[in-house]
Amino acid sequence: MKLRIAPSPTGSLHIGNARTALFNWLYAKANGGTFVVRIDDTDMERSTEEYKNNILENLRWLGLDWDEGVDVGGEHGDYKQSSRFERYRDIAQQLVENNFAYKDDGAIRFKVPENQTINFKDFVRGDMTFESSDVEDFVILRSDNSPTYHLASTVDDVDYGITIIARGEDILSSTPKHILIMEALGATLPKFCHLPLLFGSDGKKLSKRHGDTSVEAFRDKGILNDAMFNYLCLLGWSPGDDLEHFDREFAISKFDFNKVLPNSAIFDEKKLLWLNGQYIRSTSFEKFSNDALSQIGKDLNRELFNEETERLNIILPSVQERIETMNDLYDQVSFLLDEPFLVNDQEWESVNSIEAQKYLNIIRNKFIELDEFNLENIESLMRNVLEEEEIKTKVGFQSTRVAITGTKISPPLFESIFALGKETSIARLTESIEKLTN
RNA sequence: GGCCCCGUCGUCCAGAGGCCUAGGACGCUGCCCUCUCAAGGCAGAAACGCCGGUUCAAAUCCGGUCGGGGCUGCCA
């Protein structure tokens, strides 16, 4: 059993292609089949090396690997169609000689037989029937001697011994052409499986208009590869038992093309985001901390100082509980970094009051006298002052939050103060008192 | 227009004739928890496109209809 995906390097890896690749991979893994990745770059105008690399890199990022094909090799060369033009020309010539095709204005067209019924079985859609009278004679070799997709793709599938062709439903109407070529070549027909398409929120084919459509874009947004893999699995398939959060091994153990739905699905970024949050929360703290520190370093575009890392590790457990993507990290923890600390006037105004000023003043003085600056002491100190001075929690804590973190939305307050440390906390409180009483 | 595919809550999925007064999840609303924001917990609104037929019985089978989508390139 051999399956393949054949992306065209005319753009960054598209979510729809990623899902198709993923389903092929799952089926191959589930059945001990061989998975091939080949590059369909017959469109010389639009194909680039950068896109090719991008596609391969993102497939790997998703956790997919392949047994044969571009980059990993195999018995069929480099698995790029641009290297096999001679082969396609020979086949085209052979088809002409055997009267299956003919020259037309410099191009070569396949001669579609009259009154022939083309049948094939589709894993997802069952028995399919097309009439050859509905298929026009189609070009297989362009007048510039380059092969079209129909020829190149079909020849490769035959040459490489592909036994199951699982691809997007957009190719369903072209399948009769491919079958006709295969028959003319005397090849054994593979099985077909046309997977449902992915649509944008307006129900139209997922395209740039819908915002991000490439795997890379979501990767850049801080989506975890495990979450992306999991979410893509859920589009058109489910393992049953209402299970939604699962890993690759589990998906492999349950996957089958027969259980893939025939109807198209709409890509819902909201659910992806939610799932990503679930993954972040279920990651071990050790791994999360590692990823988080490297992400923050990336956002900062510099190495983190040891002191920063120490401070971050204090707050990170709390942050892990409340972010949706790794890109949400920076805003949550930036107050702990050795970077300019600025609070805008609006934030100050929104928490300013006589009571607040009084509260900040008292806790600052008590912080100075506090010998053991730990979580427990900070909390009890702050709560006691609230009680003694009869100041409302919101007034005291929110003003302290702005003073310490710079905003009204932050990780838990006591952890934030503890992570920031005694000295800096006192300095920020002092600064805030000056600012507020001005 | 022609050919083809598809049709369960707004969205993703469960449902393969009686277990369905249709289940789960995202999102949404409310409540609880609470130092903000989240997370978490609980509750709620929300769907079988429509019309016929088959059957004792249909979301599930058949036909039609309507709706959506794909293809119809010397793009893939």
- Note whether A8 and A41 are within 8 A (CB): yes
Are the beta carbons of A306 and A338 closer than 8 angstroms? no
Packed helices A375-389 and A413-420: angle between N→C axes, nearest 10 degrees: 120
Q: Which residues contact A69 (CB under 8 A, 6 or more apart)?
A: A4, A36, A37, A38, A79
What pLDDT digit, counting tens, does each position of A297-354 carry? 999 999 999 999 999 999 999 999 999 999 999 999 999 999 999 998 899 999 999 9
CB A1 within 8 A of CB A166: no
Q: What is the C-alpha separation between A31 and A254, in angstroms, rounded?
A: 11
Å from A120 (CA) to B17 (C1')? Answer: 29
**Nucleotide of closest approach to A40 (CA, C1'):** B76
pLDDT at A328: 96
Amino acid A85: pLDDT: 96
Q: Which residues, at least 6 apart from A366, have a Cβ–Cβ distance to it below 8 Å? A: A381, A385
Phi, psi of A73 (to 5 degrees): 85, -170
* pLDDT of A44: 86
- The pLDDT assigned to A212 comes to 83
Nucleotide B75, nearest residue via CA and C1': A43
Distance A341 CA to B2 C1' (A): 67
pLDDT of residue A436: 85
* Residue A4: its H or E element: strand A2-5
Taking the C-alpha atoms of residue A304 and residue A296, their distance in angstroms, rounded to an integer, is 8
Report the protein residue whose CA lies nearest the C1' of nucleotide B14.
A242
Catalytic residue among A103, A121, A204, A208: A208
In this structure, what DSSP letter does residue A228 have? H
Digit-by-digit pLDDT tens for chain A (438 residues) are 999 999 999 999 999 999 999 999 999 999 999 999 999 999 888 999 999 999 999 999 999 999 999 999 999 999 999 999 999 999 999 999 999 999 999 999 999 999 999 999 999 999 999 999 999 999 999 999 999 999 999 999 999 999 999 999 999 999 999 999 999 999 999 999 999 999 988 777 777 667 788 999 999 999 999 999 999 999 999 999 999 999 999 999 999 999 999 999 999 999 999 999 999 999 999 999 999 999 999 999 999 999 999 999 999 999 999 999 999 999 999 999 999 999 988 999 999 999 999 999 999 999 999 999 999 999 999 999 999 999 999 999 999 999 999 999 999 999 999 999 999 999 999 999 998 887
pLDDT the model gives residue A200: 87
Beta strands in A95-163 (DSSP E): 101-104, 107-110, 117-122, 126-131, 138-141
ipTM computed for the complex:
0.96
Residues in chain A: 438
Q: How far is the CA of A360 from the C1' of B75 (A)?
A: 67
What pLDDT is attached to residue A9? 95
Q: If you write DSSP's letter for every residue of A171-198 in order, what string do you get?
A: GGGGHHHHHHHHHHTTPPP-EEEEEPPE
Residue A12: partners with Cβ closer than 8 Å, 6 or more residues away:
A51, A54, A55, A58, A214, A215, A216, A217
Long-range contacts of A282-288 (CB under 8 A, 24+ apart): A282/A245, A283/A224, A283/A320, A285/A316, A285/A317, A285/A320, A288/A316, A288/A320
The predicted model scores a pTM of 0.95
d(CA A253, CA A243): 13
Q: Separation of CA A165 and C1' B62 in angstroms?
A: 31
| A169 nearest nt, CA–C1' | B70
Please name which of A429, A306, A424 lies closest in space to residue A364, comparing C-alpha atoms. Answer: A429
Active-site residue, A408 included: no
| Distance from residue A222's CA to nucleotide B46's C1', rounded to whole Å | 32
Residues 6+ apart with CB under 8 A from A168: A16, A17, A20, A194, A195, A197
Nucleotide nearest to A262 (CA to C1'): B6
- Strand B nucleotides where any atom sits below 7 Å of a protein CB: 2-8, 10-15, 23-27, 35-40, 68-76
